[in-house]
């Protein structure tokens, strides 16, 4: 089963801490290879905290772990980083900035459970 959500990306404290330790560190990977979802939406999709999900946009796809977040139903949050960048189109609609907010994304349980941030 899959469903379409709206994705917003942004900075987090753990993403910034990981970045200062280095982009190649485990701390940075753990801070950025994740998505947050409303608890009710997780339940409707049969997902548990730490389940691996496959996220897909017109620009690309990625497998990441899902965690409960304080979000309205239908909205996802993902820290900025390499995993999120796989979902962002380079088109800027003449603004000079890619679309990091309000991005339609399809969410489905990953067939590669436990292999977060792999290319889709």
Q: Tell me the CATH number at 55.
A: 2.40.40.20
Confidence (pLDDT) at 61: 97
How confident is the chain (120 residues) per 10-residue block, as mean pLDDT? 89 81 87 95 96 95 97 96 90 71 91 53
Residue 120 inside a domain? The answer is no
Residue 73 inside a domain? The answer is yes
Residue 10 inside a domain? The answer is yes
When divided into structural domains, the chain yields a total of 1
Model confidence, pTM: 0.84
- State whether the Cα torsion 62-68-72-77 is positive or negative: negative
Confidence (pLDDT) at 112: 64
Tokens of 81: 């980083």
Residue 15 inside a domain? The answer is yes
Domain hosting 33: range is 2-109
Residue 75 inside a domain? The answer is yes
Confidence (pLDDT) at 113: 53
- CB-count burial class (<10 Å; 0-12, 13-18, 19+) for 51: middle
Residue 119 inside a domain? The answer is no
């Amino acid at each position: 089963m899959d469903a379409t959500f709206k994705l917003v990306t942004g900075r987090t404290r753990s993403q910034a801490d990981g970045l200062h330790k280095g982009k190649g560190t485990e701390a940075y990977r753990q801070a950025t290879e994740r998505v947050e979802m409303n608890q009710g939406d997780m339940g409707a999709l049969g997902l548990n905290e730490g389940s691996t999900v496959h996220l897909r946009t017109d620009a690309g796809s990625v497998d990441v772990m899902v965690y409960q977040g304080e979000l309205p139903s239908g909205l996802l949050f993902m820290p900025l980083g390499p995993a999120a960048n796989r979902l962002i189109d380079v088109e800027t609609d003449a603004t000079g900035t890619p679309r990091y907010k309000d991005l339609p994304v399809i969410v489905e349980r990953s067939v590669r459970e436990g292999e977060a941030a792999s290319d889709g």
